[in-house]
Amino acid sequence: MKAKAAISDGHGEFYFDSITLGKPAPNEVLVQIKASGICHTDYDHMRHLKLFAVMGHEGAGVVLQTGKNVSTVKMGDRVLLNWAIPCGECFQCVRGAENICEDRPVIRPENRAHRGKPVNASFGLGTMATHAIVPEQAVVKIDVEIPFHSAAILGCGVMTGFGSV
Ligand SMILES: [Zn+2]
Ligand SMILES: [Zn+2]
């Protein structure tokens, strides 16, 4: 499917363009993004890291489609996106330190393309887009009443503040 996205050019600018998202592969989830936060790290990505990528790493939305083996969410679920994506199986994950996972899951590269070539996304998410394909471990089902624009910042801004405190 086609999606619209904000893409950093790696040289201090960004622009809006179409990206192509494939059908979710096993353990991948297609999310319709309803809200995205803007983080200072997005500014860093745009200006300092020479990163050509779909921007945004905090967001919330609705599951549109799931790949095989996805068991924690289903179509229609409201979810927030988490950039500290734990594999659940490495040494750090097994000992309960998922935040420093050593083998973060990524999507099949061809499932996110720009002008026919695979394109990166900020922290593997790319929430500044109408849609995103992410690993199943990157989505957390929202089971409380909270607006999307509030849920969107839980994945980075809120957790960074919590961690600092
Ligand atoms: Zn951030
Ligand atoms: Zn891990």
Q: What are the residue ranges spanned by the domains of the chain? A: 2-164
DSSP of 105-155, one letter per residue? ----GGGEEETTEE-EEGGGT--SBSEEEEEGGGEEE--S---HHHHGGGG
The residue with tokens 């607006």 is 147
Residue 111 alpha carbon to ligand 2 centre in Å:
22
Ligand nearest to the CA of 94: 2
Q: Is the pLDDT of residue 15 over 80?
A: yes
For residue 49, what pLDDT band results from cuts at 50, 70 and 90? low
Higher pLDDT, 162 or 18: 18
Residue 74 alpha carbon to ligand 1 centre in Å:
26
Q: What is the per-residue pLDDT across 66-95, written as a single tens digit (0 to 9) for each?
A: 999 999 999 999 999 999 899 999 999 999
Residue 41 alpha carbon to ligand 1 centre in Å:
5
Ligand nearest to the CA of 82: 1
Ligand nearest to the CA of 87: 2
Q: How many CB atoms lie within 10 A of CB 101?
A: 19
The CATH superfamily of 2-164 is Medium-chain alcohol dehydrogenases, catalytic domain (3.90.180.10)
pTM (two decimals):
0.93
Q: What is the per-residue pLDDT across 112-158, written as a single tens digit (0 to 9) for each?
A: 999 999 999 999 999 999 999 999 999 999 999 999 999 999 999 99
Q: What is the per-residue pLDDT across 58-71, written as a single tens digit (0 to 9) for each?
A: 999 999 999 999 99
Residue 162 alpha carbon to ligand 1 centre in Å:
13
